[in-house]
Copies of this chain bind each other. A is one copy, B any other.
Amino acid sequence: MTIADVGEFGLISKVTARMAMGPTCLLGPGDDGAVVAASDNRVVVSTDVLVEGRHFRRDWSSAEDVGHRAAAANLADIAAMGATPTALVVGLCAPPELPVSWAEGLADGLAAEAALAGASVVGGDTVASPTLTIAVTALGDLRGADPVTRAGAKPGDRVAVAGRLGWSAAGYTVLSRGFRSPRALVDAHRRPIVPYHCGPVAARQGATAMIDVSDGLVADLGHLVDASDVAIDLHRTDFEVPAQMADAATALGVDPYAWVFGGGEDHALVATFPPGSVLTPDWRVVGEVAAGHGVTIDGRPYTAGPGGWDHFR
């Protein structure tokens, strides 16, 4: 059964029937708009779009996987502002021949990932398109905290990471070479594990700047140092290459640090903290902020591997 068979409104009713609303959803799907709680008179909003062939492949990822990834990319942006995610809305552009079961799986993945972050899918839109496209917008609640932007890092701050680095990129390389294992890496590409709760925690711990690692650690820190007008030096010895990743890198003949420093889409959070601030164990210190410009590793510019990802090149 395709979505052309059930039609737009049939699809919407099938998909929304699978969604559970959390406590921050005051009015759910089915009207012109949804109503979401915003406890401190402000709402954080972020949007990200995933396009088939560019951001996901249906032969590599299940519909549920794609839902998890699409939600995670947006929810991580909310966490990186220091906010707690509250809601997602989803625009689905789909070829009419798309199986209904795929759309249902996507909805399940979106809802499950949203629930991991404490949010729910409160609305959406479905339209016909030759290109399968998933446009997600996430909302979040700062709960009285100041937003943690990219612009507040100060010389002397420490740089710390919460979450995983390089796992998704390693999984992508594995899949690109035609393999389906190691499973842990492939699964990491299919469904990132995002430390959502670390964003609001960092805000309360006095983080001066924060960003989520979507384009690659060095590339995303590049955005942060540009916004803050500072330099960051990372310490290579503070980064671990897990055994599975090291083994895969050897087998595939690649430098695993290219995954760690250049790979995005794990949606780790990287933040800067003033000297003396007490960090929870989720945060690993990996470098420090100095006067100047740019990102270095042990004092030298990062060169191995792609520094990031430009969506039009």
Contact = CB atoms under 8 A, between A and B. Distances in A.
Interface string A215-243: 00000000000010000000000000000
A81 B151 CA distance: 36
B135 A310 contact: no
A118 B77 CA distance: 26
Contacts of A78: 32-33
Given A47-B137, A127-B55, A312-B96, A81 B33 contact: yes
Interface stretch (A85-93, A153-161, A184-192, A257-265): A85-93
Interface in A258-290: none
A133 B130 contact: no
Contacts of A83: 33
B128 A131 contact: no
Nearest to A11: B312
Contacts of A39: 41
Interface in A81-108: 81, 83, 87, 89-93, 96
Given A38-B38, A50-B127, 7 more contacts: A3-B312, A8-B311, A11-B312, A48-B91, A49-B127, A91-B135, A93-B135
Residue among A4, A46, A96 with max Cβ neighbours from chain B (10 Å): A46
Residue among A80, A83, A125, A212 with max Cβ neighbours from chain B (10 Å): A125
Contacts of A211: 32
A150 interface: yes
A203 to B, nearest CB: 12
A44 B193 CA distance: 29
Q: Place the interface of chain A in its size category.
A: 35 or more
Given A47-B90, A93-B51, A137-B89, A35 B127 contact: no
A42 interface: yes
Contact of A135 (B49, B55, B77, B128): B49
Interface in A147-179: 147, 149-151
Contacts of A149: 27, 31
A45 interface: yes
A4 B313 CA distance: 6
A142 interface: yes
A39 B41 CA distance: 5
Contacts of A81: 31-33, 35
A133 B139 CA distance: 22
Interface string A42-75: 1111111111001100000000000000000000
A234 B109 CA distance: 43
A44 B27 CA distance: 9
A122 B137 CA distance: 12
B38 A42 contact: yes
B33 A77 contact: yes
A40 B39 CA distance: 9
B128 A54 contact: yes
